[in-house]
Amino acid sequence: MAKQLSSSAKSGLLSNPDLRKRLMFLLGAMIVFRIGAHVPVPGVNAAALAARLAESSGKGIFGMLNMFSGGSLERFSVFAIGIMPYISASIIMQLAAEIVPSLKALKKEGDAGRKIITKYTRMGTVLLATAQSFMVANFVYGEGVVVINRFEFFISTVTCLVGGTMFLMWLGEQITERGIGNGISLLITAGIVSGIPSGIVQLWQLTSQGALGPLTAIGVVLGALLLTYGVVYFESALRKVPVQYAKRQVLSGQGSHMPFKLNMAGVIPPIFASSIIMFPGMLAGWLGNSDPTGWVSRAVGYLQHGQPAYIILFAASIIFFCYFYTALAFSPKEMAENLKKSGAFVPSIRPGEQTSRYLENVVLRLTFYGALYITVVCLIPEFLTTGLGIPFYLGGTSLLILVVVTMDFNTQLASYRMSQQYEDLIRRTDVKPLRK
């Protein structure tokens, strides 16, 4: 049996037909995504728009949107607003499902309730995508790069951008169902990865032109690598709470435990914090902002990257959403009840209320350190960009998303391979009926 399992493990990724089919579908979906990122919305001088965005060095509100959409905004393609409306709608519905009694009841109804919540999420995606499309269209029209009349431009732009977002939503669902990993997260990661080569080229050009010193460029690369290593290290950190079962005989040196990640909220806090900070600037662009000395312009200027108000608000939002999302996603009281029903208990802790308080303290301590870790990771690039005078945006949020999604994809791939190996082993060792 061990030899059979070993030979199955050596078979590789492409030897399993089902796994190969899923990987090929994932590759095809990513190709479609990148092709769509180059399909332009009609009526816009894309080269002039890209030049305008380049003047701001990608540090503004729309520069962040351009980064998450994989450069689609600077090309003003049909995927210009990306999948962010769907993510915002999903987060809002997820939070509302824990607060609104009717949605909370739907969540407990199983598949039927989840289908209704999914329907509401899609409706919210359409509304958010429509509002965001109007904001982006107004911003682009104000840049003076539109070559058609205003009414025709707004109709075509809103239709194309909302359609592009809904297509990405459908594509992400198909990747989740027919590929490997979370489709929405992989699409965001693909957009971020697509911007890495251009960032490397830009860094090389700035170094060769003398805008950045060689030591500064080397420090930026080493800092990015060290920050990536730190993210991997902290994302792998676990707090193991030992658990014993009253009706199970446990061998000496062995036992069960409940694993708690240091970062239990994932990448949702920085994404939601970024969305909140982006909203005032997008709203100002939608309403129009012709007076550079007005209070709207000053308020938007305070929320630009590197500004003290932006850093304080961004850090406070991340910490708040870390606690808020963790409180909604994890219920220590429910965990304690499940342990009690299964005949399990934490050593030296009385089952029931004391176990609930103990688990709550564990979760609160982990959330505190996890929130500090996420905040530091997201703010270090801000300080480096401002302090070193780097004329392009380095996003800690994008790095966090990139590393976390890659680790999750690798975990799911390893889990899928393991399940396929055991299924193959069971088929090989299955006893065949005797022939007459």
Identify the three-state secondary structure at position 202: helix
Indicate whether 54 belongs to any domain. yes
Query: Quick one: average pLDDT of 314-343?
Result: 85
What lies within 8 Å, CB to CB, of 69 at 6+ separation is 37, 79, 80, 81, 82, 84, 191
Among 163-177, 289-303, 362-376, the minimum mean pLDDT is found in 289-303
- Secondary structure of the chain: what % helix, strand, coil (to 5)? 70, 5, 25
Count of helix runs (H) and strand runs (E) in the chain? 18, 3
Q: How many domains does the chain have?
A: 1
**Residue numbers of the domain that contains 48:** 11-194
User: 367 pLDDT band (50/70/90 cuts)?
Assistant: very high
Indicate whether 333 belongs to any domain. no
pTM of the model: 0.78
Q: Is the pLDDT of residue 126 over 90?
A: yes
Phi, psi of 291 (to 5 degrees): -95, 105
Indicate whether 4 belongs to any domain. no
User: 1 pLDDT band (50/70/90 cuts)?
Assistant: very low
Residue type, 198: S
Indicate whether 115 belongs to any domain. yes
**Model pLDDT, residue 181:** 80
CATH number at residue 113: 1.10.3370.10
Q: Is the pLDDT of residue 348 over 70?
A: yes
Share of the chain above pLDDT 90, in %: 12
Which run of H or of E encompasses 6?
Answer: helix 2-9
Contact between 173 and 187 under an 8 Å Cβ cutoff? The reply is no
Contact between 200 and 208 under an 8 Å Cβ cutoff? The reply is no
411-431 pLDDT, tens digit per residue, is 888 877 777 777 667 766 754
* Tokens read off for 364: 């609160």
More confident residue, 276 or 262: 262
Strands (E) located in 328-369: 344-345
Indicate whether 165 belongs to any domain. yes
User: 9 pLDDT band (50/70/90 cuts)?
Assistant: very low
Query: Quick one: average pLDDT of 10-38?
Result: 80
Query: Quick one: average pLDDT of 206-211?
Result: 79
Taken as a whole, the chain contains a residue count of 436
Indicate whether 311 belongs to any domain. no
**Model pLDDT, residue 392:** 53
**Model pLDDT, residue 390:** 60
Contact between 165 and 85 under an 8 Å Cβ cutoff? The reply is yes
Q: Is the pLDDT of residue 286 over 70?
A: no
User: 25 pLDDT band (50/70/90 cuts)?
Assistant: very high
User: Distance (Å, rounded) from C-alpha 121 to C-alpha 106?
Assistant: 13
* Tokens read off for 344: 């399990």
More confident residue, 367 or 103: 367
**Model pLDDT, residue 32:** 92
Contact between 72 and 107 under an 8 Å Cβ cutoff? The reply is no
User: 205 pLDDT band (50/70/90 cuts)?
Assistant: confident
**Model pLDDT, residue 8:** 44
Packing angle of the helix pair 214-235, 353-387 (nearest 10 deg): 170
Identify the three-state secondary structure at position 247: coil
More confident residue, 199 or 25: 25
What lies within 8 Å, CB to CB, of 262 at 6+ separation is 234, 235, 237, 238, 239, 366, 369, 370, 373
**Model pLDDT, residue 380:** 81
User: 2 pLDDT band (50/70/90 cuts)?
Assistant: very low
More confident residue, 17 or 407: 407
Q: Is the pLDDT of residue 197 over 70?
A: yes
For the CA atoms of 323, 98, 122, 34, the dihedral, rounded to the nearest 10 degrees, stands at 30
User: Distance (Å, rounded) from C-alpha 270 to C-alpha 266?
Assistant: 9
Query: Quick one: average pLDDT of 334-352?
Result: 84
State the average pLDDT for the chain. Answer: 78
Indicate whether 323 belongs to any domain. no
Share of the chain above pLDDT 70, in %: 77
**Model pLDDT, residue 436:** 47
Buried-state track 369-398, b at ≥16 Cβ within 10 A, e below 16: ebbebbbebbebbbebbeebebeebbbbbb
Indicate whether 79 belongs to any domain. yes
More confident residue, 246 or 288: 246
**Model pLDDT, residue 159:** 93
**Model pLDDT, residue 7:** 44
Residue type, 302: Y
